[in-house]
Amino acid sequence: MLRDDAPIIIESRPLMNDPQPDKHPLEQAPKRHPLEQPQTPRPAGEPRQRVNLRIPSVTPKVTYVLLAINVVVFLLKAFSVQIDEQLFLWGANHGPDIFQKGEYYRLLTSMFLHAGVYNDDGGFALQYSIHLISNMYVLYAVGMSMERLFGHTRFLIVYLLGGLTGSVASALFGGANVYSVGASGAVFAILGAEFVYLWHHRKLMGAAGRARRQSLVALAVITFIGGLLSQLPGSGLRVDNWGHAGGLVGGLVLSWVLSPILNLRQHPDHPNELLGEDINPLRKHYWFVSLYATVLVVLTFIGVFLARR
């Protein structure tokens, strides 16, 4: 996979391309974290020294593809009430259809379907499009940065397997009368990945990273409370808490193992720059990805067994 250098600019000035190290960071002698080196006390009133940090990144592409698929499917559903209804009935996540009829594809297709723009009487209800807009906004806002840092393949693995975790959880625990659609489970997986990345680099990110982690926790709590309130009688909105929870747990677990972990070292040529090298490459964890996918398959067949008892 080709990489583009995407420096995090703490002090703006031109950056040059750096040669690749002769050895992989794991093959080199351990280096003390630059931020943990003993520091000479700064004289009172002297401003803190600012540095540039260069980290490996890629140009987002998968995020745009996912956005396009979701939007195109939504527009296709909007052509007519009949198309909207047929696509919903064909692809929505529904436990009995999955476990009793063997329609396993629903676990995936439901991740790319959203509420349409028609109400029960066949009239336009444009407010339903908020379902798509909110999911796509978070996917764009968070997915762009996460794909840059995680790379195309790692990002797609977290998105798809995390989303499938939400689908399996919803099908198992959501109830026989629940039809669920939406990318929320996969989006929550990406939010979980962001939290893990910030946690792995909490010393580097400092107060800004801590504030962002707190905002992610608050968002999750508010969403789940809203989901519980949506179950009250008279509520016109139904939120799939099991799908959200499954996606979030999937994103946390997957990214805990797969997330890039940066080893910082001083730039050999520029004293005010740090190099961040990923010491946790994806190739080390293909076995874990296979194991995780296998667990999802096993959980699905447990659902089949329980449904046929």
- For tokens 């809203």, name the residue: 226
Of the candidates 119, 146, 164, 162, the one whose C-alpha atom is nearest the C-alpha of residue 251 is 162
d(CA 83, CA 95): 22
Q: Active site includes 215?
A: no
How many Cα atoms within 13 Å fall on the side-chain side of residue 304? 11
Q: Please check whether residue 54 is in contact with residue 18, taking contact to mean a CB–CB distance below 8 angstroms.
A: yes
Adjacency order of strands within the sheet including 52-57? 4-8, 52-57, 273-278, 262-266
Q: Active site includes 235?
A: no
Chain centre distance of CA 277: 22
- For tokens 């990805």, name the residue: 289
Q: Which of 94, 114, 131, 244 is catalytic?
A: 244
- For tokens 């990345």, name the residue: 197
d(CA 241, CA 284): 33
Of the candidates 228, 253, 291, the one whose C-alpha atom is nearest the C-alpha of residue 158 is 253
Of the candidates 2, 4, 9, 3, the one whose C-alpha atom is nearest the C-alpha of residue 274 is 9
Q: Which of 110, 167, 180, 184 is catalytic?
A: 184
d(CA 57, CA 42): 33
Cβ contacts of 104 within 8 Å, gap of 6 or more: 98, 300
Q: Please check whether residue 189 is in contact with residue 166, taking contact to mean a CB–CB distance below 8 angstroms.
A: yes
Catalytic residues: 184, 244
